[in-house]
Amino acid sequence: MRRPKPVIFGLYGWSPDYGFRYIHPANRRSFELLEPVGKLFEKISEDEEGDWVTIRYDEQQFLVKPELFKEIYHKPAFSFGDSVEEVTPAPGEYRHFGLVSDVFWDESTDTATFQIVERKRKLPRVFKAAELRAD
């Protein structure tokens, strides 16, 4: 049996100032709306010619040019869709349970932070890895 490929995480530091040649025409509008700077992507695949790579953010996939993809070598504690719970809620507050919907990357500290969806509602708070555990 073949082993699945390990997930490759990375940043795609594109902004509209770069122009649209780095983003496949079918993905331009949705990628621009995502505002990708500072968000951690999963690299799904590369085409045979090496012209495009497929990257994923939450439930969306995008075809982009590989030149701007910067691999991250520290795997984040959680990824998209992981079920998590808050470790220590604020006094008098209920513990949050949900699914990871956003993964942000701080290049200065090489750490990820996470936003979760709880009962179909995205929480405004962004959690550090130490504030969450797998549910």
Average pLDDT, the chain: 92
* Cα separation of the two ends of the chain: 29
In this prediction, residue 47 has a pLDDT band, given cuts at 50, 70 and 90, of: confident
Per-residue pLDDT for 1 more than 70? no
Pairing of strands 83-86, 97-106: antiparallel
Task: Please state the pTM of the whole predicted model.
Answer: 0.88
Predicted confidence (pLDDT) at residue 2 exceeds the cutoff of 60: no
29 CB neighbour count, 10 Å cutoff: 11
Q: What is the structure's pLDDT at 3?
A: 47
CATH class of 8-72: mainly beta
Contacts 24+ apart (CB under 8 A), 34-40: 34/60, 36/12, 37/13, 38/11, 38/104, 38/105, 38/106, 39/11, 39/12, 39/102, 39/103, 39/104, 39/105, 40/9, 40/10, 40/11, 40/72, 40/76, 40/103, 40/104, 40/105, 40/112
Portions of the chain given CATH number 2.30.30: 8-72
For residues 127 and 5, give the distance between their C-alpha atoms in angstroms, rounded to a whole number: 28
pLDDT tens digit sequence for 70-81: 999 889 999 999
